[in-house]
Amino acid sequence: MKIADLNGIRSIFFENRTLKQTIFKNTFWLIGGAGINRLLKLVLMIYAARILGATDYGKFTFALAFVSFFIVFHDFGLPTTVTREFAREKEREGEFYSVISLSSFLALGVLILILISSLFITQDPQIRKLIFILTLFSLINGFATIFYAFFQARQKMEYVAWSEILQSLLVVILGLFLLFKFPSVENLSYSYLFGGIAAFIFVLLFFHFKINSLKIAWDKSVWKRFFSIAWPLALAGSFGSIYNYTDSIMMGHWGMITETGWYNAAYRLSWTFFVFVGLVSSSFYPVLSEWFKKSKEKLERVWNYELEMMIVLNVLLVAGGIILAPRIIGSLYGAGFSPSILAFQILILGTGISLLYTTLKDMLIVANLQQRFFWAVAGGAIMNVILNLILIPKYSLYGAAIATIATHFLIFITLLVFVLRFTQVRPDLKRIGPVILISLFSVFAMSLIISNPRIFNLNIFLSAPIGAIAYFTVFFLSKMIIQYFKNLFYAK
């Protein structure tokens, strides 16, 4: 290969040249890094569920849900704020060190809060130990996320990808080793902690030698400014934790440990799909933030392009997940997790709704309307708690899944109203309408193919790609045919 060709490839994947190329580069690295990270950890969770069984797996997921419920107060919306602020004003990057010190104080407070709260949520000493170990891992991972946000502000998603892949490799290799040699739920937790520590040390060293020298700063004016920007995101995140983790916490607290294992087996699969498609949205965020100040026309064009992509991917995700759910759960977890099938089918529909409102959330944050996002999530969280209290005692994990989908739908409607009322961007219905119709036609054709017993009964790693290929083939052929007749009409 010629040197010029290598330089061309390098410029595509490591430089920011044009709008579309930058979005493509960002998407590639985000999907590559976070995607591999989630896939590897999903593999670890699948083996953990199969080896430990639904009850011990339920203990781990209950502890992780409890920790994740509180860890949002360490996040406090700082990563999103760092990306937005430094993407707009690179000269303020020196404030990053004060953000790190602010995050340190938040981490200490969250650690104390979790340890005290764990005394009231469970009397099981094993679960309390899991909570402590996973808290340390989550706080360390939270610090790493602040650095990832800095890389994203510079639109250097490749740095984020390398760091996330390293962490997942360390966690998964150690986790699988311990599960096969010394299987226990505590050892699974230790694999997360030690892998997270090693990866964070790499991030610190990389930042120090490649980006800027690490130092300590305690500028209270920076703390105040970031607090004033991030508090709506922090509150929204706290309410988001309510509707993301309350179901698992309630089931675990009420002694439904096995049901918690079944539910989280389905939830983690649907969440993995959310992450993959959501990464497409994440790659747009810094670009939207940059164009918000420069050009309304380009801002609206980029946002509609994001919306179009999310619809196309969403229709495939939801329909394929619902149809193949029995094969997905059976192949990955085994017959012992058959109660997870219906829960997964319900949750995957909720995932699709949440992916659509991610584009709405991004626009509100870019437009400095974080408070509106907060109110939408707060309303969803309140409804989620009420529905969980009513539905879980009656319908167990299926009630939790129904509560989740209802919550996402309410948030979607609320955010849509806010975007239309308080921002200047509008969906381009001339583009979005045909895309929706073509996507629905394509997924109908795909469903006929993958529902055929010869395809449906194949290994899931064959039937799922066949379905995706069929979907995109029909989609692009339909677009080409429509464009052909459109050109023919205008030619006349």
What's the first-to-final CA gap in the chain, in angstroms? 47
Model confidence pTM above 0.85: no
- b/e string for 343-353 if b means 16 or more Cβ within 10 A? bbbbbbbbbbb
Q: What is the pLDDT along the chain (492 residues), one digit of tens a residue?
A: 455 444 555 555 555 556 566 666 666 666 666 677 777 888 888 889 889 888 898 899 899 889 988 887 887 778 878 777 777 667 677 778 888 888 888 899 999 999 998 888 888 889 999 999 999 999 998 888 888 888 877 767 777 777 888 888 888 899 999 999 999 999 999 999 998 899 889 888 888 888 877 788 787 887 888 877 777 767 666 676 776 778 888 888 888 989 998 998 898 888 776 666 666 666 677 677 777 777 777 778 888 888 888 888 889 989 999 999 999 998 888 888 899 999 999 999 988 888 888 888 888 888 878 778 878 888 888 899 999 999 999 999 999 999 999 999 999 999 999 988 888 888 888 888 888 999 999 999 999 999 888 898 888 888 999 999 999 999 999 988 887 777 766 655
Task: At 64, list the tokens.
Answer: 């992780």
Q: Residue 22: what pLDDT?
A: 65
pLDDT score recorded for residue 1: 47
Helical H segments across 77-183, by residue range: 78-88, 96-121, 125-153, 157-181
Looking at residue 9, what is its pLDDT?
57
Q: Is the dihedral of CA 107, 111, 114, 117 positive or negative?
A: negative
Q: What sign does the CA torsion over 196, 199, 201, 206 have?
A: negative
Q: Which residues of 66-83 are buried (b: 16+ CB within 10 A; e: fewer)?
A: bbbbbbbbbbbbbbbbbb
Alpha-helix runs per DSSP H in 207-256: 220-253
> What pLDDT shows up at residue 78?
81
Q: How many CB atoms lie within 10 A of CB 357?
A: 24
Q: Which of 241, 230, 240 is nearest to 376 (CA)?
A: 240
Query: Which secondary structure element, helix H or strand E, spans residue 293, and what is its range?
Result: helix 257-294
- Residues in the chain, overall count: 492
* Helix/strand/coil for 212: coil
Mean pLDDT rounded to a whole number for the chain: 83
Report the alpha-carbon distance of residue 76 to residue 66 in Å, rounded. 17
Mind giving me the DSSP string for 145-161?
HHHHHHHHHTT-HHHHH
3-state secondary structure of 254: coil
Residue spans per domain, the chain: 15-427
